[in-house]
Amino acid sequence: MTQQTPEPLPAPTPGELFRSAFRQHAAGVAIITASHENLPFGFTATSLASLSAVPPRFTFNMAITSHSWPAVKSAEYIGVHMLGNAHRDLADSFARSKDRFNDAVWATGDFGVPVIAGVTGWLVGRVEARYVFDNNAVIVAQVVGGGNGPVDAGPENAGPLLYHSGQYARPASLDYFG
């Protein structure tokens, strides 16, 4: 009996490598909101990042094929809502539903921005730049307002909501002194 050498597997494509690598990168979950033609628009994002502390700026990315892109493209002000572990259903609703504001308690806030109640924290930013690359855009905004949500969510709901490896997750404390 002769033993055959298996055929080598094809090398992963850059797109496959990209998806595989980013599945291993945990990211905070936020909801971005904007108003367009007197209607609220919003979507779940994991691309939110602090850009600078002085002046306070944030950035996020989005697909320009998104239903919310016309609102973000034309808005002077954007809302960013940080989510905690208790907000998984809200994150799902803004990621998958067409009627994203139906299950959310919200109000029109400063500068006409839709503000979602009960989130961990929220910011309103004045859009300073939009950079479109192929099918995506990077948005930069300077903070002009915001607030913090409820502090006591209970131990089972405490902490930020993360997205990792295709599912929601929560951080765990690391005991370096144990």
For the chain, which residues make up each domain, given as ranges? Answer: 27-150
CA distance 79 to 73: 13
> pLDDT tens track of the chain, all 178 residues?
677 778 887 888 999 999 888 888 999 999 999 999 999 999 999 999 999 999 999 999 999 999 999 999 999 999 999 999 989 999 999 998 888 998 889 999 999 999 999 999 999 999 999 999 999 999 999 999 999 887 655 556 678 999 998 899 888 877 766 5
Instruction: Residues 27-150: name the CATH superfamily.
Output: Electron Transport, Fmn-binding Protein; Chain A (2.30.110.10)
Nearest to residue 119, comparing CAs of 111, 127, 109? 109
- pTM for this prediction: 0.88
